[in-house]
Amino acid sequence: MAYLFTSESVSEGHPDKIADQISDALIDNFLAFDAESKVACETLVTTGQVILAGEVKSNTYLDVQHIAREVIRKIGYTKSEYMFEANSCGILSAIHEQSADINQGVDRASKEEQGAGDQGMMFGYATNETENYMPLALDLSHALLKELANLRRENAEITYLRPDAKSQVTLEYSDDNKPQRIDAIVISTQHDDFAEEAAMLAKIKSDLVSILIPRVKAKYPQYAHLFNDQITYHINPTGKFVIGGPHGDTGLTGRKIIVDTYGGKGAHGGGAFSGKDPSKVDRSAAYATRHIAKNLVAAGVCDEVLVQVSYAIGVAKPTSINVVTYGTSKVNLTDGEISKKVEAIFDMRPYFIEQRLKLRNPIYSETAAYGHMGRTPEKVTKTFSAPGGLTKTVEVELFTWEKLDFVDQVKSAFGI
């Protein structure tokens, strides 16, 4: 019998995502001027206020207020009526030095023996139901909000949009786990005030269905066949959504971990990513397991896979590596045997993850909205400024964990 599955996304203007983007902007600036920086930075945003807290071990000094304001401005909080505005919001920093007790478990005389920055388990997932090996419902949820943000910035076809928004997509799957159609779409978007509420709701729903949806279908033609006349649309289902952003709801770093990963598919170890340097395996090992999962599916080992790794704090070698193929394996091996081969191909000690994926670079701001996984690897040039007129320009490679650079090695190991 057919079944339904749902995933959600949130926009860059959502309060929790504002917090993530500020935390990751701080990470990038620390790493740009000191690649060995150890950072765990949390952000809280509320009405007219930003609070920064966390631990840092670094040889550089940053103007954290300036960095936070630039992030808020780029997102689009630039009007006083939003009650949260880049130039006027208060910013309080309670960042302090990292605990020496934690650092002694990470740093080693030999870099290769660098210990894990914390205990825990991390998961990576991949499926061949999309071209980027991501779950379809999440991919569509992200796509809707990316295009909504484009429409807001263009301020032409739709002129009343504000930065905060959420989306949700429900798909119908067949008995053999193939997506058949979109059953329901939910979009809640912040907007300017209207004189008449009923007309406002009708206008927003009409615009999103007649302008946003066709743009998504045109930009993502591989998904166009899933749209149909029977889709149930819930557009701003609570009604008026003028009060939003940090004025409507306090935002915190790390509260959108399912949006950041696989939309509820696979599994999650519970650790957030944003605000953490790559010595924290919550982040680096989650990227590494995604890298493994994607290369396994692309190599034809299986159609769908979940990869788990776990660590003890201060210990380099993982305590476990496990692979689950959900019965979709194309090779004559058990999941346990596949796990052993994966362990031989991919060195999952923290230092080697950092080196393999080039994680000691300022590459994290781009991850902090619309998902850390399923993105397109690319090289970009970025410029950073520090107090005293110091600037640094670096070329970096984004989303290295999405590269299919181990496919040939995986095929060789599995005899494909």
164 in a labelled binding site: yes
C-alpha 132/C-alpha 377 separation (Å) is 11
Q: Is 85 annotated as a binding residue?
A: no
Check whether 294 is labelled as a binding-site residue. no
406 labeled part of a ligand binding site: no
The reply, when asked if residue 153 is annotated as ligand binding, is: no
Q: What are the C-alpha distances in Å from 405 to residues 292, 391, 395? A: 10, 33, 20
Structure tokens belonging to residue 4: 């339904």
Q: Is 166 annotated as a binding residue?
A: yes
**HSE, side-chain direction, 13 A CA sphere, residue 231:** 22
249 annotated as a binding-site residue: yes
CB 74 within 8 A of CB 82: no
* Token pair 């040939």 in the structure block, residue: 408
Asked whether 285 and 120 are in contact (CB, 8 A), the reply is: no
Residue 330 is assigned to a ligand binding site: no
CA–CA separation, 49 vs 91, rounded Å? Answer: 6
354 among the known binding-site residues?
A: no
Taking phi over 0 as left and psi of -120 to 50 as alpha, with beta for the rest, 245 belongs to left
Closest to 83 measured CA to CA, from 12, 23, 164, 204: 164
Take residue 313 and report the two structure tokens written for it.
């704090």
Q: Work out the angle at residue 253's Cα, subtended by the Cα atoms of residues 252 and 256, and round it to the nearest 5 degrees.
A: 90
Listed residue (75, 7, 31, 21) closest to 384, CA to CA: 31
Closest CA to 383 of 399, 365, 369: 365
Structure tokens at 413: 């190991």
14 is in an annotated binding site: yes
Residue 317 labeled ligand binder: no
Strands 90-97 and 120-127: unpaired
The reply, when asked if residue 176 is annotated as ligand binding, is: no
With tokens 């504002």, the residue in question is 18
DSSP class of 367: G
At 346, list the tokens.
């991919």
| Binding residue numbers for L-methionine | 55, 98, 249, 280
User: Binding site: residue ranges?
Assistant: 14, 16, 42, 55, 98, 164-166, 240-241, 249, 255-256, 272, 276, 280
**What are the binding residues for K(+)?**
42
Q: Which residues are known binding-site members for ATP?
A: 14, 164-166, 240-241, 249, 255-256, 272, 276
Return binding residues for Mg(2+): 16
